Amino acid sequence: MKTSFLRHRLSSALAVVLATTCASPLALRAAETAGELPVEFAVLTHAPHVPPPIGRRHPARVIVNLEVKELVRRLADGVDYTFWTFGGEVPGMFIRVREGDEVEFHLNNSPDSKMPHNIDLHAVTGPGGGAASSFTAPGHSSQFSFKALNPGVFIYHCATAPVPMHVANGMYGMILVEPKDGLPPVDHEYYVMQGEVYTAGRYGEEGLQPFDPAKAEDERAPYVVFNGAVGSLVGDNALQAKVGDIVRIYFGDGGPNLTSSFHIIGEIFDTLYQESGLAVAQHNVQTTMVPAGGSATVEFQVQVPGTYILVDHSLSRAFNKGALGMLKVTGPEDKVVYSGKEIDEVYLGQASTAGSDASKREVALIAERKEAIASNPQIAGLSKEIQMERGKKVFLSACFACHQPDGKGLPGIFPPLAGSDFLKADKERAIRIPIKGLSGPIVVNGKPYNNLMPPQVFSDEQIADVLTYVMNSFGNEDGTVSPADVKRIRTQTQ
């Protein structure tokens, strides 16, 4: 349904491209002076994809059709949320037009919606950015037009009261107004937006979570995420590039409240276009501040293969609330640019503070509650497959940073989990490692290691899941660990 929608958009855009290229430049100029512009349908894309460059060097009347849908979507593993969306996903669909275009905007509110919605596009010059003109009840459609006077990368969002709630529920997206002469070509363009979700439950608390107005008012977000969900840009969903490629990311902050300190671990932004504008603001930038309701565009060339981590460098948000994504770069190594033997201290610093007494107590309480639930025979009996999937997510949120996504570790620093004889030899010891951490000399597959693994703050269930995942992945093939096993070992070691 989603792809056919997109295909429809693409094919209508193609038809228009054909139509406009058939018209002679003279006829186009005549139409322009008569105020009659060629008509096009905008190509809209879901994140992290960006519509292709405009290409055209004359203005057009561009028709945008955007549908508001309220729907339940995954926020994190086992956690659902009723999102309000521009186009069915969070963030809203990416819109791309050209400076000087006249945009005919149709906002359609699905008949299944419960709420009225509207749209305030920061690319609009005029009161409310289109908000009042686009106020649309469920099952209705509104139309307004604006001229894209200023080039830039602009946010759009719903501005229906209570506005912070509509935005926190996912009602934000981006519109790029290309400068008249277009943008420099690059190898990949990606669309990433940060936003907070104010759930009634704490981070990771399972079930369908309602919006918590008090937390929103206090700006205490249990979730800060990229592209609408924890893990939307990790593992198989990571952004992709090849060594030598130039990558451009349009990064927006939907908020509603928090400023982002956007950073990519292991990369430097060669070029930064700051705060919506498309003039080069600065070169060689490590972290750029993106205000709520604002954007930045970054460009960088990737020189070395590996996994680069997109974060809000307010790091608790990255490592405890979900604001973490990945860019996977493939291609030949360049040992001069990067030897492959350094450690990013960020991981150790963050992980070591994570073991505070409060978190331990919290983990214990959550584990107690989870065990009470699990002892209900109807709920018990989670299949190994579910455990594996959950464990994979835990692995990708913590262990991968050191043991590497393929479990092979780094020579002399992080021992391998793939084919590890150390792991296999003693299940109880394996369970103790994430709980208590591990330091001092060990030998794994005949090679010595003498380093430090900080304790991993996870619930019994998460530790059981991640160990079960590890014991059955990367060529390892057997063993399961249950939450009860973990609880028993945790009690013994405390």
Of the residues 65, 85, 109, 160, which one makes contact with Cu ion according to CB under 5 A = 160
Asked if 165 interacts with Cu ion (CB under 5 A), we say no
Interface with Cu ion by CB under 5 A: which range of 8-16, 145-153, 155-163, 463-471? 155-163
Q: Pick what 160 binds: ligand HEC, Cu ion, none; C-beta below 5 to 8 Å, kind-dependent.
A: Cu ion
Asked if 433 interacts with ligand HEC (CB under 6 A), we say yes
Asked if 319 interacts with ligand HEC (CB under 6 A), we say no
Q: Pick what 166 binds: Cu ion, ligand HEC, none; C-beta below 5 to 8 Å, kind-dependent.
A: Cu ion
- Type of residue at 126: G
Of the residues 444, 455, 479, 485, which one makes contact with ligand HEC according to CB under 6 A = 444
- Shortest Cβ distance from residue 404 to ligand HEC (Å)? 10
- Which secondary-structure segment (H or E) carries 169? none
Q: Pick what 247 binds: Cu ion, ligand HEC, none; C-beta below 5 to 8 Å, kind-dependent.
A: none
CA distance 374 to 33: 72
Asked if 423 interacts with ligand HEC (CB under 6 A), we say yes
Q: Which residues 6+ apart lie within 8 Å of 184 measured at CB?
A: none
Angle between helices 427-436 and 460-471 (to 10 degrees): 130
Q: Which residues 6+ apart lie within 8 Å of 210 measured at CB?
A: 82, 199, 200
- Shortest Cβ distance from residue 426 to ligand HEC (Å)? 10
Q: Pick what 131 binds: ligand HEC, Cu ion, none; C-beta below 5 to 8 Å, kind-dependent.
A: none
Give one word for 437, left, alpha or beta, with left for phi > 0 and alpha for psi -120 to 50: left
Query: What are the counts of helices (DSSP H) followed by strands (DSSP E) for the chain?
Result: 13, 23
Interface with ligand HEC by CB under 6 A: which range of 253-261, 369-377, 381-389, 432-440? 432-440
Q: Pick what 444 binds: ligand HEC, Cu ion, none; C-beta below 5 to 8 Å, kind-dependent.
A: ligand HEC
Q: Pick what 158 binds: Cu ion, ligand HEC, none; C-beta below 5 to 8 Å, kind-dependent.
A: Cu ion
- Total of residues contacting Cu ion (CB under 5 A): 5
- Total of residues contacting ligand HEC (CB under 6 A): 33
Site residues (CB under 6 A) for ligand HEC, limited to 446-485 = 449-454, 456, 466-467, 470
Interface with Cu ion by CB under 5 A: which range of 104-112, 165-173, 183-191, 467-475? 165-173
Identify whether the C-beta of residue 221 lies closer than 8 Å to the C-beta of residue 321: yes
Radius of gyration of the chain (CA): 25
Binding mask 323-362 toward ligand HEC (x if CB under 6 A, else -) reads: ------------------------xx--x-----------
Identify whether the C-beta of residue 437 lies closer than 8 Å to the C-beta of residue 454: yes
Burial 193-225 (b: 16+ CB within 10 A, else e): bbbbbbbeeebbeeeebebbeebbeeeebbbbb
Whole-angstrom CA distances from 131 to 44, 83, 174, 194 are 20, 20, 15, 22
- Which secondary-structure segment (H or E) carries 40? strand 39-41
Of the residues 414, 461, 482, 487, which one makes contact with ligand HEC according to CB under 6 A = 414
Q: Quick one: 163 or 243, whose CB is closer to Cu ion?
A: 163
Q: Quick one: 160 or 261, whose CB is closer to Cu ion?
A: 160
CA distance 262 to 253: 10
Q: Quick one: 135 or 474, whose CB is closer to ligand HEC?
A: 474
Cis peptide before 213 (omega within 30 of 0): no
Residue with tokens 């070992």: 489
Q: Quick one: 13 or 68, whose CB is closer to Cu ion?
A: 68
Sign of CA dihedral 266, 271, 273, 275: positive
Token pair in block for residue 145: 């037009």
- Shortest Cβ distance from residue 156 to Cu ion (Å)? 11
Q: Three-class SS of residue 470?
A: helix
Q: Pick what 96 binds: Cu ion, ligand HEC, none; C-beta below 5 to 8 Å, kind-dependent.
A: none
CA distance 190 to 287: 18
- Regarding beta strands 246-255 and 188-197, do their DSSP bridges make them parallel or antiparallel, or are they unpaired? parallel
Q: Three-class SS of residue 461?
A: helix
Q: Pick what 449 binds: Cu ion, ligand HEC, none; C-beta below 5 to 8 Å, kind-dependent.
A: ligand HEC
Q: Quick one: 117 or 313, whose CB is closer to Cu ion?
A: 117
Asked if 289 interacts with ligand HEC (CB under 6 A), we say no
Q: Applying CB under 5 A, which residues contact Cu ion?
A: 117, 158, 160, 166, 171
Q: Applying CB under 6 A, which residues contact ligand HEC?
A: 347-348, 351, 398-399, 401-403, 414-417, 420, 422-423, 430, 433-434, 438-440, 442, 444, 449-454, 456, 466-467, 470
